């Protein structure tokens, strides 16, 4: 199975430094239907996480790597929608450098972005819980000059997690926060024998929100 967008963590870690960075998409995770609350409105929407490995240096010339010497990672959550106002559609179009065609809007396979390079811009913000996070605020294509100079080797294995047909080996590598988020979805509970009634969304069900925060 695959994730198709249509028009219709835990643990201690060092966050990616704010600014623009060269990054590679290496993982897409199906989060199932999640409860989202924004400006007093509650919706239940299908969510997906897109994860990037970051290559480059911070303002002090230090490599953007973890204590293990591996590329840092940053992710962004989206509503799985290509509706006109959806953040996923806006970010993918900015990343591609062009609009979607009518055919693509009828069904775009997210697996197409696995392994793709981008220039991401990260910025700090404070979540509803009062904690500070570093979020991806824009995704753009890599400039031709950087491509000509040569892109670095990708580090992480490309992977896609889909609840309908889950890779449990991959699931076990997730942090507790991510596991719990996936496990809270009605799709995951139904897969494991518990079949709760799927909550009805309010509004169009396709309006994305900008309040998603990392795990």
Question: Is pTM, for the whole model, over 0.85?
Answer: no
Q: Is 108 helix (H, G, I), strand (E, B) or coil?
A: strand
φ, ψ of residue 96 to 5 degrees: the values are: -75, -25
Is the separation of the CB atoms in 9 and 176 below 8 Å?
yes
Ranges of each domain in the chain: 4-191
What is d(CA 123, CA 173) in angstroms, rounded to the nearest whole number? 26
Q: What tens-digit pLDDT sequence spans the chain (215 residues)?
A: 456 555 543 344 578 888 999 999 999 999 999 988 777 888 899 999 999 999 988 778 888 898 899 999 999 999 999 999 999 999 999 999 999 999 999 889 999 999 999 999 999 887 777 788 889 999 999 999 999 999 999 999 999 999 999 999 999 999 999 999 999 999 999 988 776 545 444 333 333 433 332 21
Q: What b-and-e string marks burial along 68-94, b requiring 16 or more CB atoms within 10 Å of the CB? A: eeebbbbbbbbbbbbbeebbbbbbbee
Neighbouring residues of 164: CB distance < 8 A, sequence distance ≥ 6: 1, 30, 187, 191
The count of other CB atoms within 10 Å of the CB of residue 113 is 16
Sign of the alpha-carbon dihedral angle for 192, 196, 202, 203: positive
């Amino acid at each position: 199975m695959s994730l198709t967008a249509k028009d219709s963590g835990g643990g201690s870690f060092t966050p990616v430094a704010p600014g623009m960075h060269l990054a590679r998409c290496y993982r897409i995770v199906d989060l199932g239907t999640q409860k989202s609350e924004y400006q007093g409105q509650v919706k239940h929407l299908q969510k997906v996480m897109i994860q990037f490995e970051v290559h480059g240096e911070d303002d002090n010339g230090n490599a953007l790597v973890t204590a293990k010497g591996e590329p840092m990672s940053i992710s962004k959550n989206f509503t799985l929608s290509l509706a006109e106002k959806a953040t996923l559609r806006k970010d993918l179009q900015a990343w591609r450098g062009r609009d979607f065609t009518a055919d693509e809007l009828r069904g775009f396979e997210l697996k197409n972005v696995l392994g793709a390079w981008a220039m991401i811009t990260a910025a700090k913000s404070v979540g509803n819980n009062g904690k500070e996070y570093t979020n991806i605020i824009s995704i753009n294509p890599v400039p031709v000059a950087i491509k000509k100079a040569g892109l670095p080797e990708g580090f992480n294995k490309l992977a896609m997690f889909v609840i309908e047909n889950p890779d449990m080996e991959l699931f076990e590598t997730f942090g507790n926060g991510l596991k719990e988020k996936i496990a809270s979805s009605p799709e995951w509970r139904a897969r494991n024998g518990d079949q709760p009634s799927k909550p009805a969304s309010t509004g169009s069900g396709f309006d994305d929100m900008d309040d998603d925060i990392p795990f």
